[in-house]
């Protein structure tokens, strides 16, 4: 894929032409039921995963759950610059949304987890997040009869089903159902909805200015790794020098300041932006991307149009019934602050 | 009401006699629909209140909501000794359950709030909890069009509906629906369920030993104020000397170490116990109450029977769909840690 910069905006093609082009670049988000069928997800694992996703006792303090930083009520993220974890420590990066995360090429801003199962193990153990250990998790879950029973049901035939690994597997199953179908964009792709000329102009610019080089596919991003600052590295307030991104994963010089391209589904819901979470305004984020990644100072009209297009990527948010968690027993490890 | 101690346990009466006595002392928890009708609650205020109950932007940090310390998934409380709030500060007292709180005589352990509306304003402003101000709350809500519209709908005819006061009113409406009907005890009261002899023996002891003097009515407690240590003050590990309870509200010497009797509905779900949250084991809590309030060292059998009865007070937990909260705008105050 090239990062070619087109100096002049292409003239807006017809809606039909644009739909054809867009259909070759993007893919609609399916309904949860389709994901469940396609991936052959276990209904029991999904429901167990929902318990675990909301389970604060997976954290050392008993007050932090997956949903704390990836809230299903606020776009699957926490919408603060960087997450606050155990002991009120600020994490190093902005919390990525859990919504549609199942479609990303890999997890975390640097792609250091191959999938959601591997990802789920990270925050539970991170000292600045939930600050627990696999031992704490397993002792906790084994101390609660309803969990023992549920793990046995969700992982039938396993001799020792209550494990840290199965915890992660169940959370992955639940998170895979957190998808947001039927955005206005997807409905337009399917010919069921119209977009305004302003929005279509934005889509056209998004494609022709080159945004699509990194932000394509089902999640309009999240599919590959690119340097933040392809053309011009932004200032330290947006790109802190201390966080070299994927370099920490691959230890390869060319991966300095390389990050997974942000998935742009529901992007209007999840300010602030970038891995640093330092930019609150979506229009400003678009303008920064124009200059840093495309070497192009987008004018105000272009920024507004692209932003209008990005707003059409907001899909139907998942409706989740809060799980009623089973009570602790005397054997359950106590919280520690 | 007397604190009379009956030295000898009364012989267990028949289930029918006991049901008659119990019916005069306790009252079943109604279904939410009945509460809504009886209290003439507005459906719009309830739904708006649900948004607000889960709204982390009411806090200065944007990460603490009412549900953080009063989670509907864990018995309406946070189940740690004392709540952790802004800056990871530990609050002075154990978080009381929000479930059935509408039936309490007053709110907080010292009853300093007359009702749930008044209560809701406390944690939002407390520096060790959400650490916000009415101004922060009103600026936040007014910056989000969906809230402006919803307040107008929920408080029709008001010229300026988006107020801190109406926020509290809506939260009160939602919280009033968080009730737990159909506990095994309530079904037994209604003649629809049997209790075991062990449980009935516990109920009989609960009545005849004098527990019922403070723990009666619809919430099996929560109806009046009593000194912690009627007969014998417990040690500082359970009753810290620095927290004089209702004395801080009334400034009256006789209110030193006086607290609202804990409501015992769903008590099996909400360890640790007492305002200090220092006792994890329900049997131990029962034993402490026996010696401190009744001057009676309950034997192991008695403690176990009373505890078995307390387990029958766990009702159907409310099923709450997680609200999808509207996104912030550029005018929304930013989080501060």
First to last CA, chain A: 49
Query: Above 80 in pLDDT, residue B62?
Result: yes
Q: Is A311 annotated as a binding residue?
A: no
Mean pLDDT of chain A: 93
- Rounded to a whole number, what is the distance in Å from the CA of B101 to chain A's nearest CA? 18
Q: If you count DSSP H runs as helices and E runs as strands, how many of each does chain B have, helices first?
A: 13, 2
**pLDDT digit string (tens) for A279-335?**
999 999 999 999 999 998 999 999 999 999 999 999 999 999 999 999 999 999 999
- Rounded to a whole number, what is the distance in Å from the CA of B88 to chain A's nearest CA? 5
**pLDDT digit string (tens) for B318-335?**
999 999 999 999 999 999
Give domain A15-29+181-312's CATH number out of 3.40.50.300, 1.10.238.10, 3.40.190.10, 1.10.760.10: 1.10.760.10
Beta strands in chain B (DSSP E): 225-227, 258-260
Best mutation target among A57, A71, A74 (most B Cβ atoms within 10 Å) is A74
Residues 63-92 of A with CB under 8 A from B: 63, 68, 71-75, 78-81, 84, 87-88, 90
pLDDT score at B278: 93
> Of B45, B58, B61, B56, which is closest to residue B141 (Cα–Cα)?
B58
Determine whether the interchain pair A325/B73 forms a contact, defined as Cβ–Cβ distance below 8 Å. Answer: yes
pLDDT score at B177: 98
Minimum mean pLDDT among A241-245, A285-289, B143-147, B270-274: which range? A241-245
- Rounded to a whole number, what is the distance in Å from the CA of B251 to chain A's nearest CA? 33
Query: Above 60 in pLDDT, residue A61?
Result: yes
Query: Above 60 in pLDDT, residue A7?
Result: no
> Which of A80, A322, A330 is opposite residue B322, by nearest beta carbon?
A322
- Predicted complex ipTM: 0.93
Query: Above 50 in pLDDT, residue A2?
Result: no
* H or E segment to which residue A258 belongs: strand A258-260
Determine whether the interchain pair B324/A337 forms a contact, defined as Cβ–Cβ distance below 8 Å. Answer: no
Determine whether the interchain pair A80/B72 forms a contact, defined as Cβ–Cβ distance below 8 Å. Answer: no
What is the C-alpha separation between A308 and A268, in angstroms, rounded? 10
Determine whether the interchain pair A324/B68 forms a contact, defined as Cβ–Cβ distance below 8 Å. Answer: no
First to last CA, chain B: 48
CA nearest to A311 within chain B: B327
Determine whether the interchain pair B322/A88 forms a contact, defined as Cβ–Cβ distance below 8 Å. Answer: no
CATH T-level fold of B32-177: Cytochrome Bc1 Complex; Chain D, domain 2 (1.10.760)
pLDDT score at A154: 98
Going by the annotation, the residues of the binding site of B for heme c are 66, 69-70, 86, 211, 214-215, 289
Q: Note whether A15-29+181-312 and A32-177 share their fold.
A: yes
Query: Above 70 in pLDDT, residue A1?
Result: no
**pLDDT digit string (tens) for A192-205?**
999 999 999 999 99
> Of A49, A6, A14, A27, which is closest to residue A219 (Cα–Cα)?
A27
What is the C-alpha separation between A194 and A75, in angstroms, rounded? 24
Contacts of B73 in chain A (CB under 8 A): 54, 322-325
Report the pLDDT averaged over residues B189-214.
96
Give A82's DSSP letter.
S
Domain segments of chain B: what residues?
15-29+181-312, 32-177
Query: Above 50 in pLDDT, residue B7?
Result: no
More confident residue, B110 or A81: A81
Mean pLDDT of chain B: 93
B12 pLDDT band, cuts 50/70/90, is low
What is the C-alpha separation between B279 and B307, in angstroms, rounded? 14
- What lies within 8 Å, CB to CB, of B334 at 6+ separation is A280
A38 pLDDT band, cuts 50/70/90, is very high
Residues 194-253 of A with CB under 8 A from B: none
Q: Please return the burial class of A8, using the count of CB atoms within 10 Å of its CB with bins 0-12, 13-18 and 19+.
A: exposed
pTM given for the model:
0.94
Determine whether the interchain pair B63/A56 forms a contact, defined as Cβ–Cβ distance below 8 Å. Answer: no
> Which of B80, B317, B330 is opposite residue A281, by nearest beta carbon?
B330
- Rounded to a whole number, what is the distance in Å from the CA of A19 to chain B's nearest CA? 28
CA nearest to A74 within chain B: B325
């Amino acid at each position: 894929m090239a990062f070619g910069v087109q100096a002049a905006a292409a003239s807006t093609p017809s809606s039909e032409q644009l739909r054809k082009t867009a259909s070759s670049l993007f893919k609609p988000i399916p309904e949860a039921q389709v994901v469940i069928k396609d991936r052959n997800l276990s209904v029991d694992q999904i429901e167990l995963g929902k318990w675990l996703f909301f389970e604060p006792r997976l954290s050392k303090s008993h007050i932090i759950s997956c949903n704390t930083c990836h809230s299903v009520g606020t776009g699957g993220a926490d919408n603060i610059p960087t997450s606050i974890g155990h002991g009120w420590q600020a994490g190093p990066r902005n919390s990525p949304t859990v919504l549609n995360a199942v479609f990303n090429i890999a997890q975390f801003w640097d792609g250091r987890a191959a999938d959601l199962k591997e990802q789920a193990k990270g925050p539970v153990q991170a000292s600045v997040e939930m600050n627990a250990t696999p031992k704490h998790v397993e002792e906790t879950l084994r101390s609660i009869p309803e969990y023992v029973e549920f793990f046995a049901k969700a992982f039938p035939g396993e001799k020792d089903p209550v494990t840290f690994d199965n915890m992660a597997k169940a959370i992955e199953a639940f998170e895979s159902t957190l998808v947001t179908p039927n955005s206005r964009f997807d409905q337009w792709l399917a010919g069921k909805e119209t977009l305004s000329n302003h929005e279509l102009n934005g889509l056209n610019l998004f494609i022709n200015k080159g945004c699509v080089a990194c932000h394509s596919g089902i999640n309009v991003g999240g599919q590959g790794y690119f340097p933040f600052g392809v053309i011009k590295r932004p200032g330290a307030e947006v790109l802190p020098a201390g966080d070299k991104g994927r370099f920490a994963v691959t230890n390869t010089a060319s991966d300095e300041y390389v990050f997974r391209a942000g998935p742009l589904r529901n992007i209007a819901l999840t300010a602030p932006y970038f891995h640093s979470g330092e930019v609150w305004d979506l229009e400003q984020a678009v303008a920064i991307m124009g200059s840093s990644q495309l070497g192009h100072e987008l004018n105000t009209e272009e920024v507004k149009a692209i932003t209008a297009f990005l707003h059409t990527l907001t899909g139907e948010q998942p409706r989740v019934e809060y799980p009623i968690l089973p009570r602790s027993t005397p054997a359950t490890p106590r919280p520690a602050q």
